[in-house]
Structure 1
């Protein structure tokens, strides 16, 4: 059991190092926001039957000198193109000329412009949604368990968010609404693991009033380890399949979920259990208070 405590403390220190690296990367490089946040051009076109998404994307990126998202539309041979807005808003003739260079059949079905003001609102609303989510989680966990366990679970969630944001900042991958949705899904997944471990810690605290909190944390992790490995393993298999077979549209979502499940499992067994130890959580915090007989 002593080795488990040492392992948890070492992994927690390693998590602190990763968080510092993530903060430095976010401060220096920032995030590479996608068109959902920055605005741009959304064009729906119909091209030759022989063209595939990867070929269209490569040729347009070379012509526009910027990243281009190519997604198949509902109808056959129709594509949705997403790219940053040029200086001239009348971009339909330009994009049609580029498509004509490698496609004999080019039909522009629709062109729409998403301005940067919408992107700014999405950033603010997204950040507000994450903040409210964390506050509600803290209130729920404090009411359901105890504020020391709630603080540990909240710290684990902050750890997961910071590592994911640091990963996207460090690698320069596009951060769009799909990635943001996966980030919120990771919060729910990690919270579920934290609640299960916290519930086991609370049960052991009531049943073993003489054991130190570090020993109870170790036992709680061992008791829930098989369940954690099974659920996390099966979820990773599903997410890994999406990553390998889902293509470009699901790439960001799959990577976020894959890394988030690993970091969520890691933080639940390490970071979430450190705060109860540092704050000296004990069985006395779950004892019922005596009601005075005096009026």
Structure 2
């Protein structure tokens, strides 16, 4: 029974590693041809805060505003009953300024424009630069930690698993053209930490088994490490997915991008830690001797 389970685990590891490589290629192609549909946080746009009848919902406002503002318009609750923040693109030169008040008066008895401001393209460019810098610093910090904690062959598997998770999320948003905004970017940074935790647990178990069972082949060591941590991984991923699902269902459009990115990142982070995180060190010929103390020749 144990040998059968080990063989199945190995098949799963190898199969998911090929699937991961294929998905990474597809994601990179989608990014190259379609690119990301940047939200107003990055491209700039208009932000209008309004106060309407408290009985109206997000869907009611979007239905009334879409003919005037287009499908890219976003409506989020402002914290107070009947108060909403509307985000939409800046009208192109020659186009008329949208009359938000007139559009909302068709569904609300009282419409008050609380504030109206513009997010310039320069601010959006700064956010892109700062976001890219934050992602780069995060990856470099993680790389430094992995190199310090593990031998480079084992660390490379965890690092590639992290890159895999980020690329898959970006590829999904490029393929579906869902809006990529600051909340989605925050989800990507959260995915890095989540996936790293999963990879470290498995890698740490592999390191322990390499030292304890020096005559056992590395593929068998990896199988044992995955089996030993599998129940913990499933419980952790399952409970996290339940939380994300609640955000997805109850959070509305404001958290839809965040929840979607987290859902994909948690799923990919779970299987990439098992597949890429263990298969790549095997390809790089990881052996027990890499974690044994180096004998020093004291002879004169």
Change (3 A) 1:124 1:221: same
Number of residues paired by the alignment? 295
Once the two structures are superposed, the pairs formed by residues 248-267 of structure 1 within 5 Å of their partners are 248-267=253-272
1:83 corresponds to 2:94: no
Q: Secondary structure at the match of 2:99?
A: helix
Q: Which residue of 1 aligns with 2:3?
A: none
Contact 1:66 1:83 in 2 (8 A): no
Q: Which residue of 2 aligns with 1:269?
A: 274
Contact 1:179 1:253 in 2 (8 A): yes
Instruction: Please point out which of 66, 81, 87 is paired with 2:71.
Output: 66
Contact 1:12 1:270 in 2 (8 A): yes
Q: Which residue of 2 aligns with 1:136?
A: 141
CA distance in 2, matches of 1:247, 1:83: 18
Once the two structures are superposed, the pairs formed by residues 116-135 of structure 1 within 5 Å of their partners are 116-135=121-140
CA distance in 2, matches of 1:102, 1:229: 47
Deviation at 1:2, TM superposition (A): 3.2
CA distance in 1, matches of 2:77, 2:177: 25
Q: Which residue of 2 aligns with 1:188?
A: 193
Q: TM-score, normalised by structure 2?
A: 0.93
Runs of 5+ in structure 1 lacking a partner? none
Q: Secondary structure at the match of 2:14?
A: helix
Which has the larger displacement, 48-57 or 273-282? 48-57
CA distance in 2, matches of 1:257, 1:171: 16
1:52 corresponds to 2:54: no
RMSD of equivalent CA atoms: 1.9
Once the two structures are superposed, the pairs formed by residues 10-29 of structure 1 within 5 Å of their partners are 10-29=15-34
Q: Secondary structure at the match of 2:84?
A: strand
Instruction: Please point out which of 17, 41, 44 is paired with 2:46.
Output: 41
Q: Which residue of 2 aligns with 1:220?
A: 225
CA distance in 2, matches of 1:5, 1:50: 56
Q: Secondary structure at the match of 2:137?
A: helix
Change (3 A) 1:73 1:91: farther
CA distance in 2, matches of 1:90, 1:109: 24
Q: TM-score, normalised by structure 1?
A: 0.95
Change (3 A) 1:88 1:78: farther
CA distance in 2, matches of 1:66, 1:253: 19
Q: Which residue of 2 aligns with 1:32?
A: 37
Q: Which residue of 1 aligns with 2:239?
A: 234
